[in-house]
Structure 1
Amino acid sequence: MNFRTSFVPAACLCFLFTVASLVQAADWPQWRGPKRDAKSTETGLLKSWPEDGPPLAWKVDHVGGGFSSVSIADGKIFTLGDLEEQNYIMALSEKDGELLWKTDIGAAGGHGGYPGPRSTPTVDGGQVFAINQHGDIVCLNAATGELQWSKNLSNDFGGKMMSGWKYSESPLVDGDQVICTPGGDQGTLVALNRKTGSVIWQTKEWTDQAGYSSVIIATIHGVRQYIQLTGTSVAGIDPKTGQVLWNAARPGKTAVITTPVIKDDVVFVTSAYGVGCNGFKITRDGDAWSTEEVYANLEIANHHGGVVLLGDHVFGSSGGTFRCLELKTGELVYKDRSVGKGATVFADGCFYLRSEAGPVALIAADAGELKEISRFDQPDRSDSRAWAHPVIANGKLYLRDQGVLLCYDVKAK
């Protein structure tokens, strides 16, 4: 594989290195935000929008084909896109969307009906990590786009997926290691050295094929662990050794995608294709762990737009409805219609629901009933479904639709 990096003029790089030294608390440096929970810590955002949406700060049309969302850190926006015959990871200026660099990391294409990348890059400590649709996992210098190492989940770690929709996971960076899910007989999860890409451990006792979900970090009964969902089970993994702490059978169908959410000792998972949602109670007695399925129902069957945990309730889309469910019991609190099936994030007391058909809604975070405040139709719609999750960072709302990236100003004046 030939890797190529394209650079911007030196004057732009000077600006790039200047802003890289700034700390921005409201950055969104990875999949579903700083804590991988689809929640922004920002306040002072608009409480309603005009009919045509919040003010458009800027728009670019050069991010390429695909369904990847964006990560934002240190004044730069990172994403993946297919351009001509190759797949690129690229960095844009947060100020105006100007291309700062792009690096070729593999072939374009992938699944015939839905080509392009799905993963969201992870930015940490001056490095950016990403997985393209073919399972190429790469580490690059975040300032210059220079490739530092590359591996392939199938060729190097025996990776195998539950179905043919191509790799969609966004890698997790945890200290000195990078966690991802090749799946297959060599081990479902693998931890890589962030400096070299060499294997630290692989879960040989857990060999599920990979689904499409991304790993999260949780602390359950005082023990820090990685949680991942596959098409067969959900498990908790020791970060230092790769040992399986607990594993609960949870069969999925076709494609299991949604990132789990966790509170205390309850792990909530959901997927579509007639499967629904499950709540698992995790118990620990010394070194012995056990799981109990508390509920299994169809109240939330989230396809891939994600769910958000607020307090004791889980919110998200299920089919064409937006729903609220009680975490501990699995009981449905409400279901109602908004802009349709889509992806959900939370910020400053509101949900931002981005429909796969294009419209975007602002919904009050109310556990009693659905209260839609505003909505607008996304302009410059492609012919593809709008599957890239919305992102809120530093007072801006980002919507990616294939090659177009729209940046809206949602900071209250």
Structure 2
Amino acid sequence: MTRLLGLALLLSASATAHARDWPQWMGPQRDGLTSETGLLKEWPEGGPKRVWLNREVGLGYSGPAIADGKLYTLGSRDGVEQLIALDADTGDELWAVDLGQEYENDWGNGPRNTPTVDDGRVYALAARGALVCVSADSGDPIWKKQLQDFGGETPNWGYAESPLVDDGRVVVTPGGEKGAILALDKLTGERIWQAEELTPIAHYSSIVVGSPNGQKQYIQLLQDQLVGVAPDSGELLWSVPWPGRVAVIPTPLVEGNRVYATTAYGIGCMLVEIAPDNTPEVVYENKVIKNKHGGVILLDGHVYGHSDGAGWVCQDFDTGELVWRERSALDAGSLGYADERLYLLSEDGGEVVLLEPSPKEWIEKGRFTLEPQTDLRKPKGKIWVHPVIANGKLYLRDQELLFCFDVSAE
């Protein structure tokens, strides 16, 4: 069953709008999709109405997580990285927690990670490797760990992974000889297991949950391999070589027994089929999509996303063949999905496009330009935070500027 059909089955047969939280990186299931309905199918000239603008969330590329009326993000203010909570409806700050010294580089200072909200707690990873658990209501600390204590080493562009919280575990990728993937007890922060068979350094992809052949797994794209590990032990279940170069960033897509991975820097994409005995078979490898860090989304048998050198692309998921590409309408960027529409954000100009996903052609349903834009971005930095759609609102970020737009049809 395709993801689009799966989303439809989650909805009521009535036309009633359904609001949905976006509690972690890339949405409820870490696939860029939400089952929310009741949203605008076309935008008026100039785009949807802006509800609020918070100008003080600090430097960085952290995306927002929205749950129970609150928005959580990370930002660097006065040289300190912080986990920040806002009222999702007004943008007013509720509390902030210090995580440690600001990470600095030429592409932009500050954190790169989206918090994860689970069962009244918020889990966040700072760019220098501090992993924290705090109360979602108050920000009161519950526990704090440092990924370097588990053998990790801060990657070239800082830790950019967003923590996975699943079945009592917080799962992250410190990298290194002690085991590249690590599971901690979500309540105490104590180590449960570390995947000692895997030793590459940390890169930037985030772990997802899959169930090939009904067997639950944690799936991660490492620098040199695409892997599945057992949730209860960290045992390596399967591995496929991956020729990662410079930076391995996009989160894998999982549908049934198949896993899709892509990176840029000349690498391309790959689809892997996992057999019942966990033997992986490569279905195809090609360069139709070479996605850098804007992410890809699977809808109704087609992968949508930006490909270096090719522009925006629609790819047949089953065969890997190019369906269409659009080079001139929008520069490189990121995307999210809600209610039969893709939300695209360009990294250079801050243009925001509402797109009807179609295997036939680029069908645009609205466009506006993000205004104002930051004056604090470094020369090599761009607008790299992915769009977030939750509870009738569209949230966008450009460094210290966090925007909220009303995209509800009601």
Per the alignment, residue 27 of structure 2 pairs with 33
1:324 aligns with 2:300: no
Deviations 1:17-62 (A, max 9, x none): xxxxxxx950000000111111111111111112321001111101
Cross-structure match for 2:290:
301
Structure-2 separation of matches of 1:392 and 1:216 = 20
* Displacement after TM superposition at 1:295 (Å): 1.5
The superposition leaves residues 268-293 of structure 1 with CA deviations (integer Å, 9 ceiling, x where unpaired) of 100010101111121123xxx21122
Equivalent residue number for residue 4 of structure 2:
none
Task: Provide the alpha-carbon RMSD of the alignment.
Answer: 1.3
The amino acid that maps onto 2:344 is: L
1:110·1:134 contact (CA, 8 Å) conserved in 2? no
Aligned to 1:388: 385
Matches of 1:40 and 1:262 in 2, distance apart?
Answer: 15
Q: CA deviation at 1:186?
A: 0.5
Alignment of 1:185-200 (within 5 A): 185-200=177-192
Which consecutive residues of structure 2, in runs of 5 or more, have no partner in the other structure? 1-17
Asked if 1:273 corresponds to 2:243, the answer is no
CA distance in 1, matches of 2:71, 2:371: 21
**What are the equivalent positions in structure 2 for 1:155-234 lying under 5 Å apart?**
156-160=149-153, 163-234=155-226
Q: 1:411 aligns to what SS in structure 2? A: coil
1:149 and 2:143 matched: yes
Match of 2:131? 137
Contact 1:111 1:165 in 2 (8 A): yes
Contact 2:19/2:37 (<8 A) preserved: no
Alignment partner, residue 343 of structure 1: 334
Number of aligned residue pairs:
385
1:47 corresponding residue in structure 2: 41
The residue number in structure 2 matching 1:4 is none
CA contact (8 A) 2:268 2:288 kept: yes
**Normalization by structure 2: what TM-score?**
0.92
1:266–1:328 Cα contact (<8 Å) kept:
no
Q: Matched residues in 1 for 2:19 and 2:396: separation?
A: 21
State whether residues 134 and 166 of structure 1, in contact with CA within 8 Å, keep that contact through their aligned partners in structure 2: yes
8 Å CA contact 2:122, 2:135 repeated in 1? yes
> Does structure 2 conserve the Cα–Cα contact (< 8 Å) formed by 1:314 and 1:327?
yes
Q: Which residue of 2 aligns with 1:89?
A: 83
The ranges of structure 1 where at least 4 consecutive aligned residues each deviate by more than 4 angstroms after the TM superposition are none
Stretches of structure 1 lacking an aligned partner (at least 5 in a row): 1-23
Name the counterpart of 1:312: 301
Residue 276 of structure 2 aligns to a residue whose secondary structure is: strand
Structure 1, 126-135 or 258-267: larger mean CA deviation: 258-267
Question: For 1:101, which of 71, 95, 115 is the aligned residue?
Answer: 95
Task: Describe the SS at the equivalent of 2:178.
Answer: coil
Q: What is the aligned partner in structure 2 of residue 11 from structure 1?
A: none
Out of 322-331 and 123-132, give the one that drifted further. 322-331
C-alpha offsets along residues 293-352 of structure 1, whole Å, 9 cap, x if unaligned?
221111000010100011211111113611111112111111113321111111111100
| Percentage of identical aligned residues | 45
Contact 2:65/2:114 (<8 A) preserved: yes
Candidates 200, 214, 234, aligned match of 1:242: 234
User: Does the CA contact (< 8 Å) of 1:69 and 1:388 recur in 2?
Assistant: yes
Counterpart amino acid of 2:404? Answer: C
Report the residue type matching 1:46 in the other structure: L
